[in-house]
């Protein structure tokens, strides 16, 4: 949770600093972030595969298989980042332009996107190595590394963006450079931590195609989930832009309030659930794995639900940190309150999805999230908001519908328990079942 809080604080600082420039700068960073989240989705997809195998093999004691899996995931992550470097440099402005943004937003967004996508391979490696280490039960090392990285990032955003002291004011270029440096720093230090045996993991020469197949079979639905949600975010942002740049900027701010205050806990619980459920499964205790998943979900519901209530009450105060434009603040308050109402559903979805992932099931979260986004965020926003004329309030409602739907779907999937048999079959196949190593 501490790691996630610091990471989101870095992104929050980006939005806050660009908010000092103009609503166009906020919108530019938000729209560029749509594309920046695509390589992140792939990194998280590979990270889901490796945390599942790492936690299961840690629980079963299959150290050789675990080291094989993390090595392969790091290599795949680095290679998968290369196409994004090319896209950012050659097609960054085009990518912002096709969303229907105004010329200043296109110019600023294209510059920012080119800078941050240049470090996509490093971002992939950082995510995969962090998940690998976490799967083995060590959540402190990634926290320490990312704490330092994010501190550099936050300081760089403020100093380079605003031009403090002798440093020239680089505006959005400075914000992008700070993010790029943080990505490279995290990847380098985490790789060194594994290579130097600071962690219980080691790199090995890849040899086992069975592990490659399983890594990709777990990661692929998670990557597909990221790709599909990425695609659907374009029409959603186009709907927002129908109501003006201020509404789009307000959405970015309202979402940022949610990301900073409640999302770190949800993501921390997700990682925790992935570790304890995966290790318990690896140890041959499926009932214990069930209990750990439900218990973590209940803990998340109580704590994140309480934070959601606080965000709902103080929404206007929170969004005031990001903008002083009256219209932007008014809409951003509505978005922050929508995310606050959705917080209990969000945390249940996120935690149970993490538990399913550690049980080698990434298909159920894929279907739950994609259908929820299609019916909720897109369907309700367009039909009710645009076609029926209810406007922006319908977009607020769409956020709640989205997470309610996704939560219900993964909850049923976790309850049914098909993930337990899938995990056992995969462990048998790669020789990680206790007594077969």
**Each residue's pLDDT tens digit, 180-208:** 999 999 999 999 999 987 888 999 988 88
| pLDDT (0 to 100) of residue 109 | 87
| pLDDT (0 to 100) of residue 244 | 83
Q: Is the pLDDT of residue 437 over 70?
A: no
d(CA 258, CA 340): 7
- Return the percentage of the chain with pLDDT > 90, whole number: 53
Q: Is the pLDDT of residue 436 over 60?
A: no
d(CA 409, CA 114): 37
pLDDT, tens only, 293-331: 999 999 999 999 999 999 999 999 998 887 778 888 899
Q: Summarize the confidence of residues 338-349 as an average pLDDT.
A: 96
| pLDDT (0 to 100) of residue 29 | 82
pLDDT class of 2 with cuts at 50, 70, 90? confident
Average pLDDT of the residues of the chain: 89
Q: Summarize the confidence of residues 378-405 as an average pLDDT.
A: 93
pLDDT class of 20 with cuts at 50, 70, 90? confident
- pTM, to two decimals: 0.82
Q: Is the pLDDT of residue 34 over 70?
A: yes
pLDDT class of 435 with cuts at 50, 70, 90? low
């Amino acid at each position: 949770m501490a790691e996630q809080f610091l990471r989101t604080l870095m992104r929050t600082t980006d939005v806050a600093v660009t908010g000092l420039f103009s609503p166009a700068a906020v919108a530019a960073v938000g729209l560029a972030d749509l594309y920046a989240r695509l390589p992140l989705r792939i990194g998280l997809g590979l990270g889901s595969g490796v945390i599942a195998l790492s936690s299961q093999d840690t629980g079963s004691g299959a150290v050789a298989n675990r080291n094989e899996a993390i090595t392969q995931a790091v290599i795949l992550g680095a290679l998968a980042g290369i196409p994004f470097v090319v896209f950012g440099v050659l097609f960054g402005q085009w990518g912002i332009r096709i969303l229907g943004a105004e010329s200043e937003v296109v110019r600023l967004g294209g510059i920012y996107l080119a800078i941050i996508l240049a470090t996509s391979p490093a971002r992939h490696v950082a995510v995969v190595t962090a998940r690998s280490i976490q799967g083995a039960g060590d959540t402190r090392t990634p926290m320490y590394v990312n704490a330092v990285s994010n501190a550099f990032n936050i300081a760089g955003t403020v100093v380079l963006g605003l031009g403090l002291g002798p440093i020239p004011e680089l505006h959005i270029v400075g914000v992008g450079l700070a993010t790029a440096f943080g990505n490279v720093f995290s990847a380098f230090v985490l790789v060194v931590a594994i290579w130097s045996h600071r962690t219980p993991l080691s790199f090995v020469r890849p040899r086992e195609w069975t592990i490659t197949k399983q890594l990709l079979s777990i990661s692929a639905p998670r990557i597909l989930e990221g790709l599909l949600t990425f695609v659907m975010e374009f029409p959603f942002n186009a709907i927002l832009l129908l109501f003006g740049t201020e509404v789009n900027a307000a959405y970015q701010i309202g979402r940022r309030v949610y990301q900073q205050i409640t999302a770190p806990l949800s993501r921390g619980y997700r990682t925790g659930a992935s570790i304890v459920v995966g290790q318990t499964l690896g140890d041959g205790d499926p009932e214990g794995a069930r209990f750990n998943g439900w218990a973590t979900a209940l803990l998340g519901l109580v704590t994140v639900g309480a934070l959601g209530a606080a965000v709902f009450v103080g929404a206007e105060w929170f969004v005031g940190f990001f903008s002083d434009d009256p219209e932007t603040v008014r809409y951003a308050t509505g978005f922050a309150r929508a995310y606050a109402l959705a917080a209990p559903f969000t945390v249940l979805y996120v935690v149970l999805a993490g538990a399913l992932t550690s049980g080698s099931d990434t298909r159920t979260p894929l279907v739950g999230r994609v259908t929820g986004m299609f019916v909720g965020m897109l369907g309700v926003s367009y039909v009710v908001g645009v076609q029926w004329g209810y406007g922006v309030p319908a977009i607020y409602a769409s956020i709640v519908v989205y997470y309610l739907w996704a939560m219900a779907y993964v909850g049923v999937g976790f309850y049914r328990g098909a993930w337990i048999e899938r995990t056992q079959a995969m462990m048998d196949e790669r020789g990680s079942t206790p007594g077969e190593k």
